[in-house]
Amino acid sequence: MFFLNHIWLIPLFPAFGAAMMFFFGRRLQKATVNAVCVGAVVFAFLFACFTVVEYTHFAHGTGHPFEKIVYTWLGSGDAHLSFLKKDGTTAQFNADAGFLLDPLSSIWLLFVTGVGMLIHIYSVGYMAHEGGYYRFFGYMNLFMFSMLTLILANNYMLLFVGWEGVGLCSYLLIGFYFHRKSASDAANKAFIVNRIGDAGFILGALTLSWYLGSFRFTDINTLARSGHFAIGDPVLTAAALLLFVGACGKSAQLPLYVWLPDAMEGPTPVSALIHAATMVTAGVYMVARSNAVFVLAPTAMKTVAIIGALTAVFAASIGLVQNDIKRVLAYSTVSQLGYMFLALGVGAFAAGVFHVFTHAFFKALLFLGSGSVIHAMSGEQDMRNMGNLRGRIPTTFKTMFIATLAIAGIPPLAGFFSKDEILWQAWRSADGGFPYLWLIGFGTALMTAFYMARLIFLTFYGQPRMSHEVEHHIHESPKSMTGPLVVLAICSVCAGWLGVPASLGGTNAFGKFLEPVFAREVAASVAPAEPQEPAGEEHRGLEWTLMLLSVGAAVVGGGWAYGHYANAGKDYPEPIAVKAPPLYTVLYNKWFVDEAYDYAFTGRRKIGKIRLGAMGAGEASSWFDAKIIDGAVNDVGWVTRAVATLSTWWDKWIIDGVGVNGPAILARMISYPARLFEWGLVQWYALVMVAGLLGFGVYYVWK
């Protein structure tokens, strides 16, 4: 039990690496950085392997989850800090730093550490000539820490720590080349769009705790499966939908997918690790983790399936015409994530998880391969300037070719099994109705084969379209880069064999392993029919037909691309541009969604003179604040001053003037004549006396 009891060490290995880079990175040699950061992930991988092995012994195949609580994170650790549940009883506020291992997290744990390790090794070669080497590896290790916390958390809040942590690392790594405005713009976009999803996630988790009284997965699953809650319970439906908003942000589903294509501004290993193989599957993980709640909310399930299917076909349609090699892969990722949600939405959780698993290998391989191509092409990413590289970088070509076959669904490679499982379940979910979800999935498969083959032909076949300067420098990547490619190629071939369906004579070991996580033993009576139950013999023919159809779609799509691009020279024609120019414009401009968002939500673009969205609201609020609220405050000040001025005038001229000085002036005026007699000038008295005497004299003389 050593490894299980110390499961919390797994995220701490890379956390240690990140801390080392934070404090000492600047002073370290590249070799030391490699030893610390790559070493940390290798340790995490080995530790994870031992832990999972130990877990399978511990669980004896029952899938009983193992939980290890390290300490109380949120909450006071006793029962005194509590909140009121919906039903009026109180529940303890508590979220532990606690770790959970069950088949679901085992799978994620293994492929995240495994693929993460390969990509770290690859990065040693890829980033060798870049500045900020230690910064890159510090962020990558921080990412591994967050992702492992996300996977191993035993409650929604600790999961959210990882959830936000991976978002932060994504932000930091997209903006790694922060000198470029486009990179920092993309980083901001990623973080803020994710935050919208996060708000949904938080509200969803709060709804669950308000209703069920806990953040802990095991508590919530037990309660949800207890049979106390009816199918379609409105509160659980709301919670499930809110959680799905979070998943839409993190896993780039409609309408929050817009950040992922831009995220390709980051270094290519980042695109492979974070924006293809691991982080973007966090939404799938979270929904699968909450499956007990989702199955009680058919509306939410249907929403998940429809959003997933629409995202799959929507993103694939954009991928058909993009010229940037990484952008094609980015839209492909969005599209494949749509497949995964389609699977979850039709209740085929194991199939969705299986596709996450296989996709991690071939998509990481495709991204790393594209990185190798870009490396060889001296930084060129535009496929219009590539061509005929297959002889020049043979290992990259071969491995990418394998990955393309895998993603297109050619048997017996990994993608075939997982994708066909999803399509089959989508068909079955129609339950006699029109299988429109299957049809969308089928169409997407066709497009996938086309755009992937287009990518391969434009890059590796046809005529060289690059400049001589670039052509001169083309070289195969170093061993540290091609090594991981080869390992991933082997996985892309073999990973699917873990889940060979019964109809092809397999045992679907992968699905069996996961069964306990998605089991509904108690709720079986209320839950809808389990779509994953072994298909009867009568379905086998149908299942084979669908398989043939989707393989056929892959071949047709690939052949189509072969016809158009296999001999592409300079100024090769785009078939869609030739046949339907308006459609091409729309697809090329990504359905103008970014522009629409800028008009409506961010407010970065004005409609005429009017600005809408957050910036519009911000401008309006600023105006209101300055003119109305502060205006009112200043007006109060102005009125006070005006009244004061008026009072001063009143005081000076009326009160003091008329009231106080007035009587004085009056008295002075009245007293003036009397004053004349008391003037105090002796000469004046003498004059008056003389005048008086004269007066008397004149009077008597006259008389």
SS3 label, residue 532: coil
Q: Please classify residue 293 by burial: count the beta carbons closer than 10 Å to its beta carbon, then call 0-12 exposed, 13-18 middle and 19+ buried.
A: buried
| Shortest separation between residue 151's beta carbon and other proteins, angstroms | 15
CA distance 431 to 419: 19
Q: Which is nearer to other proteins, 602 or 661 (CB)?
A: 602
Q: Which is nearer to other proteins, 84 or 665 (CB)?
A: 84
SS3 label, residue 95: strand
What is the distance of C-alpha 571 from the center of its chain? 37
Question: How far separated are the first and last CA of the chain, in Å rounded?
Answer: 149
CA distance 631 to 623: 10
Of positions 5, 29, 76, 226, contacts other proteins by CB under 8 A: 76
Q: Is 88 in the site for other proteins (CB under 8 A)?
A: yes
Binding mask 380-419 for other proteins (x = CB under 8 A): ----------------------------------------
What is the distance of C-alpha 507 from the center of its chain? 36
| Shortest separation between residue 653's beta carbon and other proteins, angstroms | 28
CA distances from 428 to 285, 306, 409, 415, 436 (A): 23, 15, 20, 20, 11
Instruction: Spell out the SS3 assignment of 236-261.
Output: HHHHHHHHHHHHHHHCCCCCCCCHHH
Of positions 54, 67, 102, 164, contacts other proteins by CB under 8 A: 164
Cα angle 526, 527, 533 (rounded to 5 degrees) comes to 130
Give the interface segment with other proteins, choosing from 66-74, 313-321, 354-362, 381-389 (CB under 8 A). Answer: 66-74
Q: Which is nearer to other proteins, 170 or 503 (CB)?
A: 170
Phi, psi torsion values for 680, nearest 5 degrees: 90, 0
Q: Is 627 in the site for other proteins (CB under 8 A)?
A: no
572 touches 578 (CB < 8 A): no
Q: Is 71 in the site for other proteins (CB under 8 A)?
A: yes
385 touches 569 (CB < 8 A): no
Cα angle 561, 566, 572 (rounded to 5 degrees) comes to 90
Q: Is 612 in the site for other proteins (CB under 8 A)?
A: no
| Shortest separation between residue 150's beta carbon and other proteins, angstroms | 11
| Shortest separation between residue 457's beta carbon and other proteins, angstroms | 38
Q: Is 92 in the site for other proteins (CB under 8 A)?
A: no
Q: Is 219 in the site for other proteins (CB under 8 A)?
A: no
444 touches 312 (CB < 8 A): yes
Phi, psi torsion values for 160, nearest 5 degrees: -65, -30
| Shortest separation between residue 178's beta carbon and other proteins, angstroms | 4
126 touches 269 (CB < 8 A): yes
Give the interface segment with other proteins, choosing from 69-77, 356-364, 480-488, 642-650 (CB under 8 A). Answer: 69-77
Give the interface segment with other proteins, choosing from 161-169, 328-336, 343-351, 458-466 (CB under 8 A). Answer: 161-169
Of positions 3, 66, 133, 160, contacts other proteins by CB under 8 A: 160
| Shortest separation between residue 285's beta carbon and other proteins, angstroms | 17
Of positions 19, 42, 74, 490, contacts other proteins by CB under 8 A: 74
| Shortest separation between residue 621's beta carbon and other proteins, angstroms | 4
Q: Is 19 in the site for other proteins (CB under 8 A)?
A: no
Give the interface segment with other proteins, choosing from 67-75, 260-268, 330-338, 425-433 (CB under 8 A). Answer: 67-75
Of positions 53, 502, 578, 614, contacts other proteins by CB under 8 A: 614
| Shortest separation between residue 259's beta carbon and other proteins, angstroms | 13
CA distance 591 to 577: 15
Of positions 531, 615, 650, 661, contacts other proteins by CB under 8 A: 615
267 touches 129 (CB < 8 A): no
AA letter at 169: C
Using CB under 8 A, count the residues that bind other proteins. Answer: 58
Q: Is 207 in the site for other proteins (CB under 8 A)?
A: yes
Of positions 35, 84, 578, 670, contacts other proteins by CB under 8 A: 84
CA distance 354 to 418: 6
CA distance 109 to 152: 8
Give the interface segment with other proteins, choosing from 117-125, 178-186, 398-406, 587-595 (CB under 8 A). Answer: 178-186
Q: Is 185 in the site for other proteins (CB under 8 A)?
A: yes
Q: Which is nearer to other proteins, 1 or 81 (CB)?
A: 81
Instruction: Spell out the SS3 assignment of 436-493.
Output: HHHHHHHHHHHHHHHHHHHHHHHHHCCCCCCCHHHHHHCCCCCHHHHHHHHHHHHHHH
Q: Is 613 in the site for other proteins (CB under 8 A)?
A: no
CA distance 474 to 470: 7
- 389 DSSP assignment: -
Binding mask 628-667 for other proteins (x = CB under 8 A): -xx--x---x------------------------------
Considering only residues 121 to 150 of the shown chain, the ones binding other proteins according to CB under 8 A are none
Q: Is 171 in the site for other proteins (CB under 8 A)?
A: yes
Report DSSP letters for 579-637, one per residue.
H-HHHHHHHHTGGGHHHHHIIIII--S-BTTB--HHHHHHHHHHHIIIIIIHHHHHHHH
407 touches 337 (CB < 8 A): no
Binding mask 348-387 for other proteins (x = CB under 8 A): ----------------------------------------
Give the interface segment with other proteins, choosing from 175-183, 469-477, 523-531, 678-686 (CB under 8 A). Answer: 175-183
| Shortest separation between residue 181's beta carbon and other proteins, angstroms | 6
Measuring CA to CA, which residue among 315, 365, 309, 317 is closest to residue 340? 309
Q: Which is nearer to other proteins, 264 or 551 (CB)?
A: 264
Q: Is 72 in the site for other proteins (CB under 8 A)?
A: yes
196 touches 220 (CB < 8 A): no
CA distance 69 to 71: 6
Q: Which is nearer to other proteins, 62 or 89 (CB)?
A: 89
Q: Is 8 in the site for other proteins (CB under 8 A)?
A: no
| Interface ranges with other proteins (CB under 8 A) | 22, 71-78, 80-88, 93, 157, 160-161, 164-165, 168, 171, 175, 178-179, 181, 184-185, 187-188, 191-192, 195-196, 198-199, 202-203, 206-207, 209-210, 614-615, 617-619, 621-622, 625, 629-630, 633, 637
